[in-house]
Structure 1
Amino acid sequence: MKHARRRLSSMFATALLLPAIGVSTAAAAESSSAKQEDTYCAMVVGKAGPGGTPSPVLAQECSALSLDDADTKLRSKVSQGTTRATNAELANILMYWYEHTDFNNNNTVPGRITSIYGGDGPCDAAGYRIEPTSWWKANLSSIIGQSNCSFARLTNIALTSTSEQAIWGGTGKYLGQYHDNVGISQPHA
C-alpha cells in the first residue's frame, strides 16, 4: 500500500511537470497554426510515457488547403529546427484519422483528415498512446494504419471500455462502438 501511494504520488507529480517542461499530448496540442477552418493536419508524436501516459506531440501543423499542404508545413517547420521533432521522425506515418466512416467515403465526402507520424520509429508491440484533441474524440470515424500499425487499441471517451481494432488496409473503415467516441488510440504491430 505504501509503495502504491508513493508510485501514485510520483505519477501525479510527473503529470504536473510535463506541461511545464514543454511536453504536450494531442489533446493539449491545439496548435497555434490550427484554426477552426483547418481541415487537414499532420503531427509527430513520441512513444508513450511511463505509467501509460499519452504520447507527447513533438510537432503539429494544419492547413485549410490539403493534407499535402499540412505535411509540407510540418516538414518545413521541422527542417527549420523550430520543433522538438527531427526530419528522420517524418519517415514513419503511423496512421491517418478520418472524420467520416469509410475514410471520408473513399475521399468523396469533404471531411477532416490528420496524418500522424511516429517520432520513435514504426509501430511495435509497445505502440504509441495518442490522446486525440477534443474535436477528434467526438468525430473520429475511421483509421488507416501504416508503418506496421496493423491494430489499434481504442478506448472510449469515458475511458471505461477498450477494444482491439484492425486498422490495416480497409479494415478500419468503421470503428463500431468507438465511432465518434475515441478517448485514446494506441496503434501497435
Structure 2
Amino acid sequence: MIVAAISAATLIQAGPISSAATEHPNGASASTVPTPVDTRRDGDHCVWLYGKSEAGKPSPLVDKACSDISPEAASAKLDAQQARRAGTSASASPAGRVRIMIWYVDGNFNDYNPATGTTNGHRSDWIDGKDGPCDAAGYRIPTDSFWRDNLSSLVGDNNCHTARLTDKALVYAQDFRIDPYYAGNLQGYNDNVGLIHAHS
C-alpha cells in the first residue's frame, strides 16, 4: 500500500512560480480535455489512478476507489481492485504506481499531518500515477465535477515539482510549484481548476 511520503521539512506554502499575467494553455480546449470516465463519488476520500500523458493529451483514467474513512482506506481498496484484475495478491501496490499529488478542499492543506499521513477527517483525494514518477511530459489530469469547484490547495510528490493549473473555462493557465513547496495560494484558481498538468 502506498503512503504519502512528504516530510515535515517541506511544509512551506508557495504561490505561483511567476507573478506575471496568466497565459493561455497550449492546446487546451473543452473539446480536447474529456471528463474522467466515472466521476461518481462513493466516499469523502478517493484515490485516482492515471497513466502518463502522451503527445500532450489528457492522461487516461485507469481506476479509482473511494472511502468515507480515510485516503489510506481508499488506497487499500484500490490495491484490492487492481489485484483482482491482475489475478495477484493485494498485499502490495502494483510496480510503477506512485503518489504524484494530493488535492485538498481546505486552503491550508486540511491540516495535513505528515507523521500520521492523515487529514483529520477533511476531504482530500490522492492522485496516483500508474507509470511512475513525473517527467517532462508528466500527467495531465482533468478535474471532476467536484474538484472543479472545490480545489484550494495541493502538494506534489515523486518528482512532480510543478503543476500547471488551467481554469474551469480552459482559457487561462499558470504554473505553481508543488514540490518541495506546497501550493496553497491559488489566487484566481482557487475553486476554479479544470485541468492540472503535473510534471518535473
**Same fold at TM > 0.5:** yes
Equivalent residue, structure 1, for 2:76: 72
Q: Distance in 2 between matches of 1:168 and 1:53?
A: 23
Q: Distance in 2 between matches of 1:25 and 1:74?
A: 23
Equivalent residue, structure 1, for 2:59: 55
Change (3 A) 1:110 1:69: closer
- Name whichever structure is richer in helix by fraction: 1
Equivalent residue, structure 2, for 1:114: 125
Q: Counterpart of 1:41 in 2: which secondary structure?
A: strand
Equivalent residue, structure 2, for 1:28: 37
Q: Distance in 1 between matches of 2:195 and 2:152?
A: 13
Equivalent residue, structure 1, for 2:182: 171
Q: Tell me which amino acid in the other structure corresponds to 1:68.
A: E
Is residue 44 of structure 1 aligned with residue 55 of structure 2? no
Equivalent residue, structure 2, for 1:104: 110
Equivalent residue, structure 2, for 1:3: none
Q: Tell me which amino acid in the other structure corresponds to 2:65.
A: E
Q: Tell me which amino acid in the other structure corresponds to 2:161.
A: S
- 1:39, 1:63 within 8 Å by CA — same for their partners in 2? yes
Is residue 87 of structure 1 aligned with residue 94 of structure 2? yes
Change (3 A) 1:81 1:109: closer
Which of 121, 130, 146 pairs up with 1:135?
146
Runs (4 or more) in structure 1 with deviation over 6 Å come to none
Task: Give the Å deviation of 1:110.
Answer: 4.3
Q: Counterpart of 2:188 in 1: which secondary structure?
A: helix
Alpha-carbon displacement from aligned partner over 1:105-154 (angstroms, at most 9, x marks no partner):
44676432111111111001111100010111110111110001111011
Query: What is the number of residues matched between the two proteins?
Result: 160
Q: Tell me which amino acid in the other structure corresponds to 1:119.
A: K
Q: Distance in 1 between matches of 2:65 and 2:44?
A: 11
Q: Distance in 2 between matches of 1:124 and 1:150?
A: 9
Q: Distance in 2 between matches of 1:72 and 1:109?
A: 18
Identity of aligned residues (%): 36
Q: Tell me which amino acid in the other structure corresponds to 2:38.
A: A
Q: Which runs of 5+ in 1 are unaligned?
A: 1-11, 16-23
Q: Distance in 2 between matches of 1:111 and 1:27?
A: 23
Change (3 A) 1:60 1:25: farther
Q: Which runs of 5+ in 2 are unaligned?
A: 1-30, 88-92, 114-118
Q: Counterpart of 1:96 in 2: which secondary structure?
A: strand
Q: Distance in 2 between matches of 1:80 and 1:89?
A: 17
Is residue 186 of structure 1 aligned with residue 193 of structure 2? no
The two structures have a TM-score, normalised by structure 1, of: 0.76
Q: Which has the higher contact order (CA 8 A, sep 6+)?
A: 2
RMSD of aligned Cα (Å): 2.4
Alpha-carbon displacement from aligned partner over 1:18-73 (angstroms, at most 9, x marks no partner):
xxxxxx96633225xx32xx1111111011244x3311110100000111100000
The two structures have a TM-score, normalised by structure 2, of: 0.72
Q: Distance in 2 between matches of 1:63 and 1:119?
A: 20
